Amino acid sequence: MKNGGSNPPAPGNRCAGPPGGLSCRPGGFVFYYARMLLPLAATAAALGAWAYGTYEPNSPLFGRAIGRGSRAKRVAYLTFDDGPNPGATEPILETLAAHRVPAAFFMVGEHVRRFPAVARRVAAEGHEIGNHTLRHRKLHFLGPSRIREELERTHELIVDATARDPRSFRAPHGYRNPFVAPAARRLAYTVFGWTFGVWDSDPRVGAEEIRARVRRKLKPGAIVLLHDGDGYDPTGDRRRTAAALAGIIEDARAAGYEFRPLGELMP
Ligand SMILES: [Zn+2]
């Protein structure tokens, strides 16, 4: 029987050529397994690309997301997710005002509905306000209409509370799929990822550790991810982040950094 089909070759028919050589006859053992493995490798590559687009917050695969500013200058951008949340957002605003530092707040719609006065104060103090979905849903398994609803309802809640149109969006956990970019585009949003986070939402991480982690990770153009709220618990305790903030600002300035408004990265 000819051995060009899908039957494995006879064991005696492996590689011809000199001992230790790599040449194998077509239809030989190595070719047979290569033909079997190539489609598997292609599938794994496709899954890998999909995972990259979904879970990597700055991946361009499912639409551009800005994850860092210019690396040429010692500038950095503070961003706070998952608020508004009176217990943390208010003291954070006080620290930002005392140090004259701008920041961006990516807000959860349901929390804006609950604490509209806090959202209004963020806007009144001149900080950037971004959309972070209605209920902090992980978007990667949702279809286009659900994603649009998450973004558009939140947009309305923010406009109602602050009289300001949000101009930016950040996906919860950074998880996206191909339907996120069109929903963001409908609202003329710039989509943001981040350069680094410091796991400040972990209750085992204290304020001094949050401060030290930011100091160690800070680099030119960094978009720093912090949390003034909890995506699911509207009164989640983020006082440790609030307590860390003054030290974060002092350390960064001592290292020659300037905090800039995130809006300057928008096209
Ligand atoms: Zn979040």
pLDDT digits (tens, 9 = 90+) for 218-229: 999 999 999 999
The pLDDT assigned to 166 comes to 98
- Would residue 31 count as lying in a domain? no
* Residue pLDDT, tens place only, 76-91: 999 999 999 999 999 9
Label residue 184 by pLDDT band (50, 70, 90): very high
Question: 173 C-alpha to center of ligand 1: Å?
Answer: 6
Residue 139 per-residue DSSP state: G
Question: 43 C-alpha to center of ligand 1: Å?
Answer: 31
Task: Give the mean pLDDT of 148-176.
Answer: 97
Question: 267 C-alpha to center of ligand 1: Å?
Answer: 23
Question: 224 C-alpha to center of ligand 1: Å?
Answer: 13
- Would residue 158 count as lying in a domain? yes
Q: Check pLDDT > 60 for residue 2.
A: no
Q: Which residues are catalytic?
A: 81, 227
Question: 40 C-alpha to center of ligand 1: Å?
Answer: 35
Question: 95 C-alpha to center of ligand 1: Å?
Answer: 22
The pLDDT assigned to 31 comes to 72
265 near 66, Cβ under 8 Å?
A: yes
The pLDDT assigned to 198 comes to 98
User: pTM for the full model?
Assistant: 0.85
- Would residue 208 count as lying in a domain? yes
- Would residue 162 count as lying in a domain? yes
CATH of residue 167's domain is 3.20.20.370
Residues above pLDDT 70, as percent of the chain: 89
Domain residue limits at 185: 75-265
The pLDDT assigned to 50 comes to 84
Task: Give the mean pLDDT of 164-170.
Answer: 97
| Average of per-residue pLDDT values in the chain | 90
Burial class (CB in 10 A: 0-12, 13-18, 19+), 45: exposed
Question: 139 C-alpha to center of ligand 1: Å?
Answer: 12
Question: 255 C-alpha to center of ligand 1: Å?
Answer: 28
Half-sphere exposure of 78 (CA within 13 A, CB side): 27
- Would residue 50 count as lying in a domain? no
Number of domains making up the chain: 1
* Residue pLDDT, tens place only, 187-223: 999 999 999 999 999 999 999 999 999 999 999 999 9
- Would residue 110 count as lying in a domain? yes
Task: Give the mean pLDDT of 174-181.
Answer: 95
- Would residue 90 count as lying in a domain? yes
The pLDDT assigned to 29 comes to 66
Q: Under 8 Å CB-to-CB from 14, ≥6 apart: which residues?
A: 24, 28, 29, 30
- Would residue 157 count as lying in a domain? yes
* Residue pLDDT, tens place only, 11-64: 444 444 444 444 445 556 667 777 778 888 888 888 888 888 888 898 888 999
Task: Give the mean pLDDT of 126-142.
Answer: 97
What backbone torsions phi and psi does residue 153 show, to the nearest 5 degrees? Answer: -65, -40
Task: Give the mean pLDDT of 262-267.
Answer: 96
* Residue pLDDT, tens place only, 94-126: 999 999 999 999 999 999 999 999 999 999 999
The pLDDT assigned to 22 comes to 47
